[in-house]
Structure 1
Amino acid sequence: VTAQLQALGAAMRTVAALNAAGQALEKENFEKAAEELEKAELEKLKPREKKAAAERLKKVAESMNAAGLGQLSDTVTDLVDGIQSGQSSKACGACRRLGRLVKRHAVRRRINRALLAQIRKLSECKSRCRSACRVCSLCLKMCGGQCQSQCNSLAEGLKPQRSTSPSNNWGKGTSGALFGEATELDARRAFEQLTGQLGDGPSDTETESSVEGREQARRSYREVYEKYRKMSEAVLESEPIPLGHRQVIRRYFESIRPQKEETLRERQ
């Protein structure tokens, strides 16, 4: 596909309006080529320019069709028809469709490159693992298994266990339990079970109160009461509440109203 798009870019350079898009296609800068094709204007083309562009683009379309790129071939053919017939709207529409196809190819190429990079990393990892296995096999043959396969490890990753024994070998793994388990206490903990029922038996209680605290509590209670009583009166006046409900609301606020003695004391 890349080679066909480069050939398309070379053919587009015969048209001044498509020169920037053609250069971008030849340089494999498909993102820029898609942008240039989206904004291409093919309204005023010279007869000689039309003829040269149509001939070269037609050859590119035939080559794409032979390569199995039917959608690209059809779009380039529409571009040729638009240029030859002088229909700028048809030619511009074909350019925009070409831009979308080029943009898709750019995305597919980025994905392909990322996958190839992952494949290379996987191949490198497999090669390292094979090398480590060969080293361990050689070590076992030389010592007869006395080393218990304690060879240098190239395996990377997080391990759940924590190493507690010394070793003369190195490895590339990472322990997931850096601190290990909590150390147990050496002391014996004595537990005593308390019996009885809550509230039984004598108990000493002491209650402290002051005149200022009681006065502040009364004042706060009266302010809250006045606030919500005014809110209820406003609702009763503005909303169509049934008479029975109105009486219940008024009786409730009457029952929680501060006593007159406390109100007079506050005013004094």
Structure 2
Amino acid sequence: MKYGPQSSSILSYLARLVARIVRGIKDLAPAALVLGCQGPKVDKTEKAPAAVVAPAPQPKDDEPKPLGNFDITFYYVVGEDDVKPKLPAVAVANDNAPAGEASLAAIAPSERVTLYEPKACTPIADVTPEFESQLILQGTGKLRDGRVLNIWGACGCPNKPCFKVTPNQWGTGGSGKPLEPFRTVAVDRKVVKLGTLLYIPVLEGQTMPGRAPYGGYVHDGCVVANDTGGGIDGHQLDLFVGRKAYYAAMSWRGGSHSWARHVPVFDGSKICQRKGRQVSRKSGSI
């Protein structure tokens, strides 16, 4: 097959074009090989991220705050009939009296002391010294006629301390609030503020002596600081138990109250509540 001059020019052009393409591919091959062997550049100055440290656990908001360890003592309303007076002195009959002359053994009357109210030193009652001593110790007492007395304190009357007659069945605390068996505690105001709700774990789950509404129930550990006392010092709580018989009934372990020594006490504001005169555990608290 014959080609004309024009066909020869076209073929020559195509040959030169193919040659140029082949040379371009040869030139690109080494560069592509180098780039393929190189990995991504790493900035060696970049610092590794800091290790993640878990935050320290925070205390739960609903947990009661510890106040320390306390010694728990107990007090109650002392009844006038519960305190036995000392036996009166008995005069011995005169055996040397002349025959036929009668001689009677004279019995000395029991000693009595007068209790006074502080205002105008009004007499309240005449009682035995033994009852007066217990009345001062417990702070609250009940006379035979049913009146309930609270210790008042120093006064200018012939016999002191003075006392006040209270309308409350169990007496009145230093805060002016009525005493409630197993719910009122007397405190040292330098350590625990009056009116503070407290939680005492050692009481929780224990059945209180007596009958409803003042006893016979399982305690939830909640009490209120509504009283004070001259003999209470530092980390001591005096739990009001109502009656002397209840005091004896609370010697749970080995016939003593050693179970109540050096026990932990907590601020009860988060788990305890007070509604009127009633102190109890908050619903849903731990």
* TM-score, length-scaled by structure 2: 0.17
Greater RCO (CA < 8 Å, at least 6 residues apart) = 2
Structure with higher helix content: 1
For the pair shown, the structure with the greater C-alpha radius of gyration is 2
